[in-house]
Amino acid sequence: MAKLVIRQYQLSDKEEVFDLHVRALKKEDAYMYTGTWEKDFEDIEGIYLNNRGEFLVGIKDHKIVAMGSLRKMTDDIVELRRMRVDPSFQRMGFGQMILDALEKKARKLGYKIIQLNTSARQVPAQKFYEKNGYIPN
């Protein structure tokens, strides 16, 4: 597995994180438009970091190439969100590294259930989550 430095999101990452989000979804033909469904990118600290959640970035060669987050739903349930890997760095294990770190953090925060949503167009993501034990509804 290639080396990836994983750390918590910082405000200075804002533009680079959003660019990664758009790039990764466009590669999967899953990006429709910029809209209200992306409002969380405007307040990552409030929605994730300061609300019993997490937002991690993966850095390789001084560039954010992977990311993922946890958003509190209830005291027992956390939602896995914004899992993205730069298309140029996919199939290198970076998504797995981010997922592993987020699952560990969810356990540390005391969550009992991790849930997530993916679009029908994100077949590779669906397979990735199923491989990791997530059950489709």
Which residue, chain included where needed, has tokens 């077949």? 123
Compare 89 and 2 and report the one with higher pLDDT: 89
The partner residues of 8 in beta bridges, in order of sequence, read 56
Sign of the dihedral through C-alpha 80, 86, 88, 93:
negative
Structure-token pair, residue 131: 């491989």
Which residue has better confidence, 56 or 125? 56
Chain centroid, CA 17 distance in Å: 10
DSSP characters for 80-136? Answer: EEEEEE-GGGTTSSHHHHHHHHHHHHHHHTT-SEEEE---TT-HHHHHHHHHTT---
Q: Give the number of other Cβ atoms within 10 Å of residue 58's Cβ.
A: 24
Domains of the chain: residue spans and CATH: 5-131 (3.40.630.30)
Q: What is the mean pLDDT of residues 111-130?
A: 86
Q: What's the start-to-end Cα distance of the chain, in Å?
A: 31
Rounded CA-CA distance 63/16 in Å is 8
Band of residue 31 on the pLDDT scale cut at 50, 70, 90: low
How much is the mean pLDDT over the chain? 91
Lowest mean pLDDT segment, chosen from 12-16, 59-63, 129-133: 129-133
Q: Indicate the pTM of the whole model.
A: 0.91
What pLDDT is recorded for position 60? 96
CB count in 10 Å sphere of residue 130: 11
- Asked if pLDDT for residue 100 goes beyond 70, the answer is yes
Across the range 106-113, mean pLDDT stands at 97
Give me the percent of the chain exceeding a pLDDT of 70: 92
Is residue 71 very low, low, confident or very high in pLDDT (cuts 50, 70, 90)? very high
Q: How far is 50 from 27, CA to CA, in rounded Å?
A: 31
Task: Tell me the average pLDDT across 34-58.
Answer: 91
